[in-house]
Structure 1
Amino acid sequence: MKKILLAPNPTGTGHNMRLLAIGRKLKHINNNLEITVLLGSRQDIFSQLFESEGIRVIDLNPTGIIDHSKNSHLESDLNWETMISNYFVPTFFNGDKVLKYMNLINELSPDLLISDYNINATIAAITSSTKNVFITERHNFTLVDVEIEDLIIGGFNVNIKEINAAKKNLQRLFDWLIMNSDLVITDKVLLASFKTDVQLLKYKSKVHFVGAMYSERSQGVQLDYGELQIDKSKPYIVGTVSSTTMLKQDKEKNISVYISTFNELKKTIPDLQLVLLGTSDKKQKNDDVIYIPYLPSWRQLIENSLLVISHPGWITVTEVSYLNIPTVFYLPNFMEYHEVEAYRRLEQLGLPVFNGEDSKSFCELIISIMKSDKEKTFSGYKILSPDKNGINKATNLINTLVEEGEPTL
């Protein structure tokens, strides 16, 4: 029996969801695996989801549920102290967490650790001489991917010298991580116009783009529209609010822009409803605006919607591209710097993007998308999800590494 340790980054639900899909598929193709997940966020939702797949859960914070959407992560001043000392080190490069992961690795003796952009767990695996897989939707640390000019446009007061120094040294650290990982899997298409992609391709023998690693969030679940307070006889659009924001006020601003844009849209579509995901602690309805805190299985909801509006969080990008769901990717501003690179990438692929607070312009864009030739408007989806085999490719690579020591497609 081979032991697999899953270590999702605890900063967002997407990391949990991707490793849930991979863990489920690995169990399906190899009955000789004992899989454990080190769960560090949204344990209230994901403990049951992992356990239902026969995956053992170790709660890294058993005294309380961690939800990173409740707090801000950055200040408007961007310098070494605010970016590295106060944010990056506690969250991604934390010596205490590295040692705790090392202790767990020593106790559990896994044959393989699979990290979903969990830098601390990857460092622990490398320093413990444990075979490891690094799964990522980012081709470097986020700050390295973002141009100084975009940070300034976003409204940050940037100490250019200190941030450039941070970017340079973060690049060195990421390069070390990739060099010492046994296998790197990404669901973000590699483009020659992004310098971090070019740098990652230095290791092309171990770096594999597999496309969307999509798997049903919950098998065979039918949505109860009545319970969700959605009138199924009327059209609706779905707006998602990012589960992790750099600035807490941006989440409130996001909701405000969605609602004001929705009010503009109702002038054209009077019976339209707006379904907001990730906006409150309980389901509620205010006129034609429905608030839903979290929905593990949302395929039926978005497939029956007129349109989805979402931050360019990559787990969502891959899912809507896989399912071919018309989506406009939105940022309230570029202070949400962790999604600027994805925004620029989608923009380059010709997919509809919007940022700012101009509700009338946002409304005009949405109406134009609804009237457009969808196949042409969303042709970029074919680049993001070139086939339907991403999850199979990823798990076959991992399984081969476990069983034979050399990953092959």
Structure 2
Amino acid sequence: MKVLHLPAETGTGHNMRALAVAAKVRTLFPGAEQHVYLGSKSALFTPMFEELGVHVHTASDQQDHANTSQLARRFDWTSYVTGYLNRTFISGDRMLAAIALIGSVRPDVVVSDYNVAACLAAEVSGVPYVLVTERYDFTLGQIDNAALLEAGFILDDPDEVDAIRASLTTLFRWVTRRARAVLTDKPDVPELDRGTPVFEALAAGNGHVVGPIVRDECAADPAPRAEIDARFGLHGTEYAIVGFGGTTMFTENKERLLAEYLTAFEKLRTEHPDARLVVIGRQTFTEEVDGVVLVDYVSDWHSLVKHSKVILSPPGWLSVTELAVMNAPVAYVLSGRDEYHEREAMTRLDHLGYTTATEPDADTLLAILRTAFDEPEAFRRRAAEASKAIAPTGNGAEAAAKLIGQVVAEASAGRQLAEAV
């Protein structure tokens, strides 16, 4: 069996899910040959995949979507389709590159993690594909014009935005219907998802909610606290973790949120002088702040999380699933209403019962931190109850690997039957 993983090129979450699936494919199908194409963060992820024996192919024009604004305030075809989607999810250049790679590798199956160009390339190449997706439709399909206006976008022609939305849903519906299997790690909420392509795939039988697609480390026992203390300088403290990384629509939102976090933490220390703050920001920091540990990225963060008092995280879905598996005391923070790509996730997390805050000021963040430090058991119980809906049982990565193997077996049987006829 030969598997080609083609994760979307917009951040670490898609790569990390592909890594988790690749690990389970190796375990369940030890003779499988695996390849992956990394369009972002290849320096970080290449050794992780190579450790699993996966052949790595990389892009020459990688862009860090965490540190670059993706959208303009004016929301129209030029800014959204030409300026954003054409550089990320729907690209003739990326589709042709994927076709070339498929022709070179000659896989038995393509595994696309929310990479529509990869799905189109597989279909054109006559190779069965499995779609792994955290979204039930393109993001715009679950965000209406009123929400865009409320977020501060300028819609000169609402009908044009409606046309973009309808076109994207049509494309995504075609992709889900042509996929041999559609796998999602996001539990469906009918009032949010009814009528979406993935919800329809679940009803049709080729869609599967597999549960969290995460690495085994997330469920493993953490490293001793002493190791974490030595690594991050946290000896004798209780600490909070805050994150503001991930793909961002407007970099000013990240900058503002960091300032609010630091102000909130400064106020918290008047009540908890031994507290520390670990800031994970997907960028390089040059200034030191008393009591604050600033880091770019922590790939093995499960031990850091499991010893923490509280985590304030952006609602990137890979982080959501990992934190749910870790049963972490987490609250979710959206840096700006105009980070439209995460509005749906925030609505879902609020619906599931998590503590959430959208575009918060320092006082709002302080209230969350204070509750977590002063009433830790109540705060942890609320997060744990919400996490049950996301991580009820089992390992989604293993379920995904089994379904991928099933797709390959069925495709092989189909070819043999065709040849016999």
Q: Same fold (TM over 0.5)?
A: yes
Opposite residue 303 of structure 2, the aligned amino acid is Q
- The aligned counterpart of 2:110 is 113
Secondary structure of 2:259's counterpart equals helix
- The aligned counterpart of 1:18 is 17
- The aligned counterpart of 2:206 is 206
User: How far has the Cα of 1:144 moved from its partner?
Assistant: 1.2
After alignment, is 274-283 or 79-88 more displaced? 274-283
After alignment, is 194-203 or 88-97 more displaced? 194-203
Output one character per residue of 1:175-202: Cα deviation in whole Å (capped at 9) or x when no partner. 0111111110000011110145654232
User: How far has the Cα of 1:265 moved from its partner?
Assistant: 1.8
Unaligned runs of 5+ in 2: 414-421
Aligned counterpart in structure 1 of residue 321 of structure 2, from 318, 322, 329? 318
Output one character per residue of 1:230-258: Cα deviation in whole Å (capped at 9) or x when no partner. 22310110011222101111111121121
Opposite residue 238 of structure 1, the aligned amino acid is I
- The aligned counterpart of 1:351 is 354
The question of whether the paired residues in 1 share the 8 Å contact of 2:246 and 2:282 is answered with: no
Instruction: Judging by fraction of residues, say which structure has more helix.
Output: 2
Once residues 314 and 86 of structure 2 are traced to their aligned partners in structure 1, the CA distance between those partners, rounded to angstroms, is 25
Once residues 358 and 412 of structure 2 are traced to their aligned partners in structure 1, the CA distance between those partners, rounded to angstroms, is 43
- The aligned counterpart of 2:418 is none
Is 1:158 aligned with 2:161? no
Question: Is the alpha carbon distance of 1:93 and 1:198 closer, same or farther for their aligned partners in structure 2, counting shifts above 3 Å?
Answer: closer
User: How far has the Cα of 1:326 moved from its partner?
Assistant: 0.8
Question: Is the alpha carbon distance of 1:198 and 1:99 closer, same or farther for their aligned partners in structure 2, counting shifts above 3 Å?
Answer: closer
Once residues 222 and 59 of structure 2 are traced to their aligned partners in structure 1, the CA distance between those partners, rounded to angstroms, is 29
Aligned counterpart in structure 1 of residue 391 of structure 2, from 385, 396, 405? 385
User: How far has the Cα of 1:333 moved from its partner?
Assistant: 1.4
- The aligned counterpart of 2:187 is 189
Is 1:75 aligned with 2:72? yes
Once residues 379 and 256 of structure 1 are traced to their aligned partners in structure 2, the CA distance between those partners, rounded to angstroms, is 31
Equivalent positions of 1:1-400 (< 5 A) are: 2-61=1-60, 66-159=63-156, 160-195=158-193, 198-204=196-202, 205-216=205-216, 222=223, 224-225=227-228, 228-281=231-284, 285-370=288-373, 371=375, 372=378, 374-400=380-406
Once residues 257 and 208 of structure 1 are traced to their aligned partners in structure 2, the CA distance between those partners, rounded to angstroms, is 39
The question of whether the paired residues in 2 share the 8 Å contact of 1:139 and 1:197 is answered with: no
Once residues 99 and 40 of structure 2 are traced to their aligned partners in structure 1, the CA distance between those partners, rounded to angstroms, is 19
User: How far has the Cα of 1:285 moved from its partner?
Assistant: 4.2
Secondary structure of 2:279's counterpart equals strand
The question of whether the paired residues in 2 share the 8 Å contact of 1:41 and 1:66 is answered with: yes
The question of whether the paired residues in 2 share the 8 Å contact of 1:44 and 1:65 is answered with: no
Once residues 294 and 336 of structure 1 are traced to their aligned partners in structure 2, the CA distance between those partners, rounded to angstroms, is 21
Opposite residue 290 of structure 1, the aligned amino acid is V
Opposite residue 162 of structure 1, the aligned amino acid is E
Question: Is the alpha carbon distance of 1:367 and 1:388 closer, same or farther for their aligned partners in structure 2, counting shifts above 3 Å?
Answer: farther
After alignment, is 216-225 or 332-341 more displaced? 216-225
Give the RMSD, CA atoms, in angstroms.
Answer: 2.2
Opposite residue 388 of structure 2, the aligned amino acid is K
The question of whether the paired residues in 1 share the 8 Å contact of 2:324 and 2:388 is answered with: yes
Output one character per residue of 1:153-191: Cα deviation in whole Å (capped at 9) or x when no partner. 221112322211111111101101111111100000111
| Runs of 4+ residues deviating >4 angstroms | 196-199, 217-224, 282-285
User: How far has the Cα of 1:405 moved from its partner?
Assistant: 3.9
Once residues 66 and 225 of structure 1 are traced to their aligned partners in structure 2, the CA distance between those partners, rounded to angstroms, is 31
Question: Is the alpha carbon distance of 1:373 and 1:107 closer, same or farther for their aligned partners in structure 2, counting shifts above 3 Å?
Answer: closer
The question of whether the paired residues in 2 share the 8 Å contact of 1:308 and 1:326 is answered with: yes
The question of whether the paired residues in 2 share the 8 Å contact of 1:190 and 1:197 is answered with: no
Once residues 141 and 213 of structure 2 are traced to their aligned partners in structure 1, the CA distance between those partners, rounded to angstroms, is 25
TM-score by length of 1: 0.93
Opposite residue 88 of structure 2, the aligned amino acid is T
Once residues 217 and 258 of structure 2 are traced to their aligned partners in structure 1, the CA distance between those partners, rounded to angstroms, is 25
Question: Is the alpha carbon distance of 1:363 and 1:197 closer, same or farther for their aligned partners in structure 2, counting shifts above 3 Å?
Answer: farther
The question of whether the paired residues in 2 share the 8 Å contact of 1:320 and 1:327 is answered with: yes
TM-score by length of 2: 0.91
Percent pairwise identity: 30
The question of whether the paired residues in 2 share the 8 Å contact of 1:122 and 1:132 is answered with: yes
Opposite residue 103 of structure 1, the aligned amino acid is A
Unaligned runs of 5+ in 1: none
Once residues 283 and 230 of structure 1 are traced to their aligned partners in structure 2, the CA distance between those partners, rounded to angstroms, is 17
Secondary structure of 2:241's counterpart equals strand
Opposite residue 246 of structure 2, the aligned amino acid is S
Question: Is the alpha carbon distance of 1:351 and 1:357 closer, same or farther for their aligned partners in structure 2, counting shifts above 3 Å?
Answer: closer
